[in-house]
Amino acid sequence: MNIFLSYSVQDTDLAYIITSNLNKNSFSVQRWDNPVKFQIGNSPIEQIQKALDNADVLMALITDSYLSSPSAQAELTAALFGPQKCNIVLIVVGDVKLPSFLADIQYTKVSEINEEAIAEIALHLQSLKPIGKSEYEPIKKTDPNNEDNHRLFISDIRQALMENRLSFVFGAGISIDMGIPDWNTLLLSVLNTSLQKDFKKNHLKAFPASSLILGKYLKILLGDNFEKVLRTCLYDSVKEGPSSLLLSSIVNLIRPKRNNGHVESIITFNFDSAIEDILGQNNIPHKAIYDEGMDFELSEIPIYHVHGYLPRADKNAYSQIVLSEDAYHTQFMDPFSWANLIQLYKYMNNICLFIGLSLHDPNLRRLLDISVRKNTREKLRHYIVKKRRKTISELDNILLSLEEQDANALGLNVIWVNEYEEIPRFLNLIQ
């Protein structure tokens, strides 16, 4: 049986142990360094598919290092979606959480790579039914591991909460239910207010592709009135009354509990005061941090507004809003700004749960990438909640897997939900 072994370069020692032992048991194991090597200048995916031409099995050594390695995952993507088809077997080492795009692939789980594990892997390989390339169908598990993963996710996040090292990272998605507009809606509202027009969302296509450039134009257009108009548009549609289910579940997690740990901090990319308002309504001590040198009491939970702060009630509390291109460049280019340093510290020392944001922000991606590179012990330490798009075609499945691989490479486990209404239920299970 010809086996192509896919692994992260950080797991070279484990790959060597597997290769040498399986070769003694009448298997033919091929790795990139034995005898195939990448040829500089050639297409990596073509080389991978060429190597898989002669393979009966692609065996992937799944570790945290593997899931955060773009090159390792490229090998797996080529096997899953490329024209060359072969059996795929995952060797999951330790308590690694499988991404959902691998949930249907057969796997063998071992606590470590030793003689007993090698024997189990060999037995699994021998049980595979040899099939022709034209007859290939991925062998699926009868019980996909999504629920198993959710249990592991909940356990990890709960443990971080108990140890007082859980940080929330919030984006615009958490406050939309309250009537706070998302980024594009806010820009459109500011535009309409400043020009006394009634442009619709589809009219934004006529403006620069980057919302940061549009923000810059609006800032120039409004001059000294920028803050006033921005505040009006930000809170113009706020709904009074009970908070959303999502915010209620967030508050319940933040609420201090005797002997149950507490949320260590909150990082928010929003400049509204939705979180402060609801924490105040629930008598939970907190402090908005929006400028360098601000401190807080030990009894207060700090809320770091890394893109500035424009509260609803306190007209005196204001900091530079990162809504325009110039403000964004200022923050991006200053690696020692308090906002960059506090994010990097939390990403490297806490377990962070990302809710209501995408991973499109280049500065956030840069800081997460630094955190992954610096933290050699725990590659996948954080979590992000994402809504799963409907997968209709093979292209949808490829895009979904690439999206998850991208998050993994930035140190994030993805918690997929089919509907946003599932997020509060997930958060309630953590308590």
Domain boundary among 115, 143, 171: 143
pLDDT score of 238: 85
Range with the largest mean pLDDT of 59-73, 118-132, 189-203: 59-73
Same-domain status, 196 and 173: no
Average pLDDT score over residue span 64-92: 80
Instruction: Compute the distance between CA of residue 5 and CA of residue 27 in angstroms, rounded to an integer.
Output: 12
What is the domain-level CATH number for residue 381?
3.40.50.1220
Same-domain status, 103 and 203: no
Degrees, nearest 5: CA angle 148-152-158: 145
Same-domain status, 136 and 222: no
Tokens encoding 243: 């908070």
pLDDT score of 175: 85
Percentage, residues of the chain above pLDDT 90: 26
Q: Do the beta carbons of residue 100 and residue 146 sit within 8 Å?
A: yes
pLDDT score of 221: 82
Tokens encoding 18: 């597997």
Rounded to the nearest angstrom, the gap between the alpha carbon of residue 346 and the centroid of all alpha carbons in its chain is 15
Same-domain status, 297 and 357: yes
Percentage, residues of the chain above pLDDT 70: 85
Same-domain status, 174 and 206: no
Tokens encoding 17: 């142990």
Tokens encoding 116: 């007993």
Domain boundary among 235, 258, 277: 235
* DSSP conformation class of 96: P
pLDDT for residue 310 is more than 80: yes
Can you name the residues that pair with 286 across neighbouring β-strands?
A: 301
Give the confidence band of 138 by pLDDT, cuts at 50, 70, 90: very low
Tokens encoding 307: 């893109």
Give the confidence band of 136 by pLDDT, cuts at 50, 70, 90: very low
Can you name the residues that pair with 36 across neighbouring β-strands?
A: none
Which amino acid would we find at residue 374? K
pLDDT for residue 141 is more than 80: no
Nearest to 141 by CA among 175, 105, 174: 105
Give the confidence band of 256 by pLDDT, cuts at 50, 70, 90: confident
Contacts of 24 by beta carbon, 8 Å cutoff, 6+ apart? none
Give the confidence band of 96 by pLDDT, cuts at 50, 70, 90: confident
Q: Please provide residue 411's backbone torsions phi and psi, each rounded to the nearest 5 degrees.
A: 85, 20
**pLDDT (tens digit, 9 = 90+) per residue, 392-426?**
777 888 888 889 889 988 999 999 988 888 999 99
pLDDT score of 145: 43
Same-domain status, 117 and 98: yes
Residue with more model confidence, 265 or 228: 265
pLDDT for residue 87 is more than 50: yes
Q: Report the mean per-residue pLDDT for the chain.
A: 82
pLDDT score of 134: 40
Contacts of 21 by beta carbon, 8 Å cutoff, 6+ apart? 115, 118
Instruction: Compute the distance between CA of residue 184 and CA of residue 201 in angstroms, rounded to an integer.
Output: 8
Q: Do the beta carbons of residue 304 and residue 311 sit within 8 Å?
A: no
Extract the runs of DSSP E, i.e. beta strands, from 220-289: 263-268, 286-289
Same-domain status, 167 and 278: yes
Tokens encoding 364: 């956030």
Same-domain status, 18 and 6: yes
Same-domain status, 77 and 130: yes
**pLDDT (tens digit, 9 = 90+) per residue, 14-61?**
999 988 889 887 788 887 654 445 455 556 667 777 777 778 888 899
Tokens encoding 215: 């923000």
The H or E element containing residue 4 is strand 2-6
pLDDT score of 140: 40
**pLDDT (tens digit, 9 = 90+) per residue, 277-293?**
999 999 999 999 998 88
Average pLDDT score over residue span 193-201: 80
Q: Which domain holds residue 414?
A: 151-179+238-430
Same-domain status, 219 and 283: no
Strand duo 351-355 + 166-170: pairing: parallel
Give the confidence band of 81 by pLDDT, cuts at 50, 70, 90: confident
Residue with more model confidence, 105 or 174: 174
Can you name the residues that pair with 3 across neighbouring β-strands?
A: 29, 57
* DSSP conformation class of 223: G
Residue with more model confidence, 84 or 344: 344
Residue bearing tokens 């402060």: 276
pLDDT score of 167: 96
Residue bearing tokens 């009634």: 198
pLDDT for residue 131 is more than 90: no
Number of structural domains the chain divides into: 3
Instruction: Compute the distance between CA of residue 208 and CA of residue 76 in angstroms, rounded to an integer.
Output: 37
pLDDT score of 143: 38
Same-domain status, 27 and 157: no
Instruction: Compute the distance between CA of residue 17 and CA of residue 34 in angstroms, rounded to an integer.
Output: 13
Instruction: Compute the distance between CA of residue 92 and CA of residue 120 in angstroms, rounded to an integer.
Output: 12
Give the confidence band of 146 by pLDDT, cuts at 50, 70, 90: low
pLDDT score of 125: 85
Nearest to 346 by CA among 240, 244, 268, 237: 268
pLDDT for residue 114 is more than 50: yes
Same-domain status, 278 and 352: yes
Instruction: Compute the distance between CA of residue 165 and CA of residue 382 in angstroms, rounded to an integer.
Output: 12
pLDDT score of 365: 92
pLDDT for residue 83 is more than 70: no
The H or E element containing residue 195 is helix 183-195
Rounded to the nearest angstrom, the gap between the alpha carbon of residue 143 and the centroid of all alpha carbons in its chain is 24
Can you name the residues that pair with 110 across neighbouring β-strands?
A: 93
The H or E element containing residue 414 is strand 412-417
Tokens encoding 314: 């306190």
What is the domain-level CATH number for residue 31?
3.40.50.10140
pLDDT for residue 374 is more than 70: yes
Give the confidence band of 207 by pLDDT, cuts at 50, 70, 90: low
